[in-house]
Amino acid sequence: MLFRFNNIIKVLGLLLVVTLNAQTKPEHVVIISIDGFRSEFYLDNTMPTPNLQEMVDKGVAAKEVTGIFPTVTYPSHTTLITGKTPVEHGIFYNTKMSENGSSGGWVYDFKEIKAKTLWQSVKEKGLTTAAVSWPISVNADYIDYNIPEFWSFTNPMDRRIATAQKANPKGLFEEVVKNATGTLEINDYNLSSLSMDQNLARIAGYILREYKPNLLTIHLPITDGAQHKVGRKGLGVRKAISGADNAIGIIRDALQKAGIEDKTTIIVSGDHGFVDVHSQIAPNVLLAKMGLYNKNNPKAWFYSAGGSTFLHVKDSNNKKMIEQIREAFDQLPLEEKSTFKIIDRDKIAKRGGDPNAVLALSGSKGYFFTNDADGPFISTKKGGKHGHYPDFHDIATGFVGYGKGLEKEMLIENMFLEDVAKIAATLLGADIDQPEEYYHVVLE
């Protein structure tokens, strides 16, 4: 089905109106990403999210946002800032994959992004930009005020010195600590406690008050860790989303104090949903039994993205070996075969996944993948995961739009993760090379 995006965004037959005349066009857009954001957080009025629920009541919200593949943080955040899928922006996984299939370091440098970003397009309009803890923003020349997501390679729990060194302009991190957060201990600025989201929001609030950027993007990460630990529900998840909602309140308060609240659009979205899991699958165990995988020089390997895993081969011309692997998984006993579905290359391409992967596996509800090549094929492991193919509600993320330039009191059925950047670009009159017509595909 074809949907035209011009002055009107049509999403499954419903209209999200973006007004572009001078009287209603916002001067500022704030994009808030909540890691592991789900629509239940704002559509369920028993959740501790008063800011989000007020914004839903007075703005626009979606019942679900279909993600890219895999539904993991760094590729998804790159889609949020480019309006492109991974095959276009070049970020396929959270981490780099080595030649032997092992996981390398996290992707963090802006130069890895191959598509035009919102930051660049806004700068080209002569406007100002800011980012706080946004993935893959290190060394981003298009961000005027940048506190990137970064940490020490020798002591990953300590993000303070590494962040200060990569902040732009130099001295900005020290400035925001002095004026927004006060002295930060190690655990005030990492993923170990709820205070991380609060401190990031205070930093963003200070930048909004002091510098009034036209575009500010901020990533709130704590809700992700809570759901990894216990799954979709639980007291820890409620605490984390309450903390993220409070962070939104801090940002809203800063906009008011800066005198720009009525000139601003706030967009809250995320990168993926979450799936409750009870078991992990190790497909490299089967490859090892077939004589195709060894740690130092594998002929083939599966590279895990949590809820999915991608098959890579050394020799892509060896069609016989590839077919043998597929047959091996097709012929597994029903109780093992039912734990996943095979995603072929055409289906990978539908959501922009790695074109170098021969095929992928996506876990059934309750299952995820590990890179392990020894031990049992399936073993018990409880918690929450994401990364699955984005064709069911639990893995979908959310969207709330509030403020100048957006329609009010509107609930839409579905949108795509790519739409977030396109909406923001339209509001600011920027160009991220988006087509006039957008195609929304109903996934198989």
61 and 84, same domain (yes or no): yes
424 and 314, same domain (yes or no): no
> Average pLDDT, stretch 357-362?
97
CATH code where residue 199 lies: 3.40.720.10
CATH code where residue 324 lies: 3.30.1360
**Separation of alpha carbons 305 and 74, rounded Å:** 11
**Separation of alpha carbons 26 and 10, rounded Å:** 21
Collapse the DSSP code of 400 into the 3-class scheme (helix H, G, I; strand E, B; otherwise coil) and give the result.
Answer: strand
The pLDDT score that the predictor gives to residue 14 is 37
- Name the pLDDT band for 180 (thresholds 50, 70, 90): very high
Read off the pLDDT of residues 268-293 as tens digits, 9 standing for 90 and up.
999 999 999 999 999 999 999 999 99
374 and 399, same domain (yes or no): no
Read off the pLDDT of residues 87-142 as tens digits, 9 standing for 90 and up.
999 999 999 998 878 888 899 999 999 999 999 999 999 999 999 999 999 999 99
Cis before 70? omega within 30: yes
**444 within domain boundaries:** no
248 and 129, same domain (yes or no): yes
Give the CA dihedral 193, 196, 198, 203, nearest 10 degrees. 160
144 and 234, same domain (yes or no): yes
368 and 414, same domain (yes or no): no
Number of structural domains the chain divides into: 2
The pLDDT score that the predictor gives to residue 409 is 87
Integer CA distances (angstroms), 88 to 17, 166, 316, in order:
27, 26, 22
333 and 224, same domain (yes or no): no
Read off the pLDDT of residues 208-264 as tens digits, 9 standing for 90 and up.
999 999 999 999 999 999 999 999 999 999 999 999 999 999 999 999 999 999 999
124 and 248, same domain (yes or no): yes
On the question of pLDDT at 296 being above 90, the answer is no
**What is the secondary structure of 135-163 as a DSSP string?**
TT-BT-TT-SEEE-----SS-TT--HHHH
CB 38 within 8 Å of CB 396: yes
Collapse the DSSP code of 208 into the 3-class scheme (helix H, G, I; strand E, B; otherwise coil) and give the result.
Answer: helix
Collapse the DSSP code of 182 into the 3-class scheme (helix H, G, I; strand E, B; otherwise coil) and give the result.
Answer: coil
On the question of pLDDT at 6 being above 60, the answer is no
Q: Residue 441: is it exposed, middle or buried by C-beta count within 10 angstroms (0-12/13-18/19+)? A: exposed
Sheet of strand 275-281, all strands in order from the earlier edge strand to the far edge = 366-369, 275-281, 378-385
Domain extent at residue 12 = 2-269+394-439
Collapse the DSSP code of 243 into the 3-class scheme (helix H, G, I; strand E, B; otherwise coil) and give the result.
Answer: helix
**Separation of alpha carbons 96 and 93, rounded Å:** 7
Read off the pLDDT of residues 306-321 as tens digits, 9 standing for 90 and up.
999 999 999 989 999 9
- Percentage of residues in the chain having pLDDT higher than 90: 85
Average pLDDT, the chain: 92
Phi, psi values for residue 372, rounded to 5°: -55, 145
The pLDDT score that the predictor gives to residue 13 is 35
Which of 364, 385, 406 delimits the end of a domain? 385
**What is the secondary structure of 277-344 as a DSSP string?**
EEEEE-HHHHHHHTT---SSS-SEEEEE-SSEEEEEES-TT-HHHHHHHHHHHHTS-HHHHTTEEEE-
- Name the pLDDT band for 388 (thresholds 50, 70, 90): very high
